[in-house]
Structure 1
Amino acid sequence: MKVEIWSDLTCPWCGLGNHRLDKAVERFTHRGDIELIHRSFPLDPDLPSSPAVSTRQMLKQKYGMDDAQAEAATRRVEVLAEREGLRPYIVLDNKKANTQLAHEFLAHATAQGKHAEAWHLSFRAYFGEARSLFDVDALLELSDELGLDRDETRQALVERRFRQQVQDEARRANALGARGAPFLVIDGQYAISGAQDTDALLGVFQQVWDATHPQPVQIPAGDAEAVCGPDGCALPGDHAARG
């Protein structure tokens, strides 16, 4: 079962949604049959890459919120995340800037075999430690932590080697109907919007699994008929062979 999740790295609901998705996969009976793929979906492509601005300031400028509204908009997700084991989870006191380059770094890390590790590290660095993800030097620190070649990573970022890939992933999300993030698609046809809780995700996993993996019906041996295949027919075990 292929599960794709589109996220932006500074979206607080994306960080929580990815955490919940990981928990759902861990608890799913058929977790070994799930292929989990992270996709890039930068939500503010017109935001400058520098200087980074405070989340509080961004909420005021973009949505016209006052301090009380900004507090209410961010503290809820902080509390939810911390209740679910993400401590600390820094949203209001964090900074915002363009995440395009950070997503290009994730694409580079994926090409180097560090797909899930890079996504997890980036979310943890941003929401857990309020670290910058917005310039080459900050991303090279993550590269070092992942054990990637520093010079090769720098070259990929400076050359903008993965810019088109990131843009293509965002366009595909839009084509699939995404109007925000996180956005989840299972087997290319079942879409889920928002940071659904773990139990809800488990329920969807099971529904999709049951729909795509019909279960055999158990019939008592005495009622069974012969089963025919390309090489002949196999009789039920209680039928004696006849010469």
Structure 2
Amino acid sequence: MKVEIWSDVVCPFCYIGKRKFETALAQFSDKNNIEVIWKSYQLMPDMVTNPDKKVYQLVSEKHGIPLERSKAMHSQMTQTAKELGLVYNFDKAIPANTLKAHQLIQYAKTKGKQDQAEETLFRSYLTEGKNIDDVPTLLEIGTKIGLDKMELKMVLDKGTYISEVQADIYEAQQVGVRGVPFFVLDRKYAISGAQEPKEILASLQKAFVEWRKENPDSKLEIIHGAACTPDGECH
């Protein structure tokens, strides 16, 4: 059963949502029958990367709230993250456009490394204070998770996966995404926001029961005869 997750790597609640989803999935008895697909989403597509601006200031200006209130909000998110074993360093975070980061994720998806890409980008932005709009930084991240450095550079230089990023964002509009994280289960159920693991688990179980009815686990009746096996034995 497919679980699609729309997310942006500068979204603090998306990293929290990832951990809560992982906790729920670990408790799900049929987790081996779940295919997780990460989808691109940009909270601020017109964002201009500015290493000199603090996240507190950005949020204060964007939402028209006092700077101190912005700091208090981020402090609360830091505490919530800490309870899940995550470390948020908003003092170090660099406000960045995430288009290049999402291209890295799309490329990583073709190599079976989408989850590693998401995890590393979240940590790079929210914990380590790295500029995830910077190509050398993204090449370092890609190399860390086992991607080919030169191939990734070509992907980023040419914008190879921009259309895939844009397709995910357009698709988000079609399925009703109004904020991230947003989880879609078998295109029948959706979870908006970083819900608690027990809520996610209940939704997984409900969706999977219906999916299994439509996709029965059929077992073949086998008549055995002479055959060769992958280990080189023939009998």
With structure 2 as the length reference, what TM-score do the two structures score? 0.86
Q: Which residue of 2 aligns with 1:96?
A: 95
Aligned 8 A contact 2:186 2:211 in 1:
no
CA separation in 2, counterparts of 1:22 and 1:91? Answer: 24
CA separation in 1, counterparts of 2:51 and 2:80? Answer: 29
Q: Which residue of 2 aligns with 1:13?
A: 13
Aligned 8 A contact 1:5 1:184 in 2:
yes
Q: Which residue of 1 aligns with 2:170?
A: 171
| Alpha-carbon shift at residue 45 of structure 1 (Å) | 0.3
CA separation in 1, counterparts of 2:136 and 2:42? Answer: 20
**Which stretches in structure 2 are left out of the alignment for 5+ residues?**
214-235
Cα pair distance change 1:178/1:158, threshold 3 Å: same
Aligned 8 A contact 1:5 1:185 in 2:
yes
Alignment partner of 1:37: what SS? strand
Aligned 8 A contact 2:93 2:128 in 1:
no
| Alpha-carbon shift at residue 198 of structure 1 (Å) | 0.9
Seq. identity, %: 34
Cα pair distance change 1:92/1:14, threshold 3 Å: farther
Q: Which residue of 2 aligns with 1:146?
A: 145
Matches within 5 A, 1:88-167: 88-91=87-90, 93-167=92-166
| Alpha-carbon shift at residue 66 of structure 1 (Å) | 1.5
Q: Which residue of 2 aligns with 1:40?
A: 40
Q: Which residue of 2 aligns with 1:208?
A: 207
| Alpha-carbon shift at residue 108 of structure 1 (Å) | 1.2
Q: Kindly name which structure, 1 or 2, has the bigger radius of gyration based on alpha carbons.
A: 1
Matched residue type, 2:34: I
Q: Which residue of 2 aligns with 1:219?
A: none
| Alpha-carbon shift at residue 114 of structure 1 (Å) | 1.5
| Alpha-carbon shift at residue 127 of structure 1 (Å) | 1.7
Aligned 8 A contact 2:188 2:207 in 1:
no
CA separation in 1, counterparts of 2:81 and 2:57? Answer: 22
1:72-127, Cα deviation, whole Å (9 max, x unpaired): 221222111101111x2223542211101110011111122312111111112222
Aligned 8 A contact 1:53 1:97 in 2:
no
Moved over 3 A (4+): 49-52, 211-214
CA separation in 2, counterparts of 1:93 and 1:115? Answer: 25
CA separation in 2, counterparts of 1:111 and 1:69? Answer: 41
Alignment partner of 2:127: what SS? helix
The number of residues matched between the two structures is 213
RMSD: 1.5
| Alpha-carbon shift at residue 181 of structure 1 (Å) | 0.6
Query: Does 1:182 find its partner at 2:181?
Result: yes
| Alpha-carbon shift at residue 43 of structure 1 (Å) | 0.8
Cα pair distance change 1:58/1:115, threshold 3 Å: same
| Alpha-carbon shift at residue 68 of structure 1 (Å) | 2.0
